[in-house]
Structure 1
Amino acid sequence: MTTIKVVAEAPVRQPDPEMATLFHALSEPTRLEILTHLGSGEHRVRDLVEHLGLAQSTVSKHLACLRDCGLVAVRPQGRSSWFFLAAPELLSDLLDATDAFVRGTGIGPSLRTHHDEVDATIEGGA
C-alpha cells in the first residue's frame, strides 16, 4: 500500500490595488536610489538633484510618486521642503524580505530578459 502525503497549500492572498501601486513605485531604480539616500536622513529636492545628477523636474516627479504611495513624507521648513522616509522600519523589512526572496529562489529575476521575451512575442504576432 502506497501512502500519499498531502500537503495543504498556503492560501494565496489576493493583491489589492494599493499593493500593485506600491510595487510599481518600487520597480523604478531611480526611486529605489532615492529611498536608499533618504535612509540616511532628510533631504531637500536640490540635495537629491545634486546627489543623483538628475533634473529637478525628474526628481520631483519621482518624489511625488513615492509620496503618493506613502513611502515618503515631506516637512516644510521656510521656503524649503524636507523629504524623509515615512516608515523607515517597514520599508527596511520589505526590502529585506525582497532580498531574501531573490536569494531564496536561487535565481536573480531579470526584467531585461522578461521585456525581451514580451517584445519578441509582440513582434512575432503571438
Structure 2
Amino acid sequence: MNQSDACLTGSVAGTSSNLDAAVALFHSLSDSARLAIVRRLADGEARVVDLVGELGLAQSTVSAHVACLRDCGLVIGRPEGRQVFYSLTRPELLDLLASAETLLAATGNTVALCPTYGTRSRTGAPVDTEDTRR
C-alpha cells in the first residue's frame, strides 16, 4: 500500500459510511508530516519546494504526503507555469485544527500519555500509568 492509498483506507466492517469517512479524515491527518503540511498550508499556499525547505523533509516525502492530502480532497493544486501552488480546499479544516488545539489544551497531556497512540508509544519508552490517571 502506498502513502496515497493509506489515506483512503481505514474502513471498519459493519460501520456506517459516515463513520468510515470520519475515520479516513482523521487517518489522513494522523501522520506528523501530513499534519505539518496542513498546518503550514493554513498560513497560505505553498509549492512542494517551499514545504521541503520549511519543514525539513525530503522532496519525495513531501510530494507523497501532498498527493495523499490531495487524493483525500483536503488540498488542491493551482498550476502556474511549471509550478504548482498547493492550498487547503476547505476553511472548515482550519476550524477542525482549532478545535483539536482547544481539546488538547483542555485535556493537558492525557492524549500524549496514551499507551497506544501517545508520544511514548512511538519511542518505546514505558508509560507511567500514574500520569494517565490524572
TM-score by length of 2: 0.66
Give how far 1:15 is off. Answer: 5.0
Give how far 1:21 is off. Answer: 1.1
**Distance in 2 (alpha carbons) for counterparts of 1:107 and 1:57:** 33
CA shift in 2, pair 1:104/1:58, >3 Å: same
**Distance in 1 (alpha carbons) for counterparts of 2:88 and 2:19:** 23
**Distance in 2 (alpha carbons) for counterparts of 1:14 and 1:43:** 32
**Distance in 2 (alpha carbons) for counterparts of 1:106 and 1:47:** 32
Counterpart selection for 2:64 from 44, 61, 64? 61
Q: How does 1:1-126 map to 2 (within 5 A)?
A: 16-87=19-90, 89-110=91-112, 111-114=118-121
- Find the residue that maps to 1:54 and give its secondary structure: coil
- CA radius of gyration, larger in: 1
Give how far 1:24 is off. Answer: 0.8
Q: Which amino acid aligns with 1:95?
A: L
Aligned residues: 104
Extract structure 1 runs of 4+ deviating beyond 4 A.
113-117
Q: Which amino acid aligns with 2:95?
A: D
List gaps (5 residues or longer) in structure 1.
1-12, 118-126
List gaps (5 residues or longer) in structure 2.
1-15, 113-117, 126-134
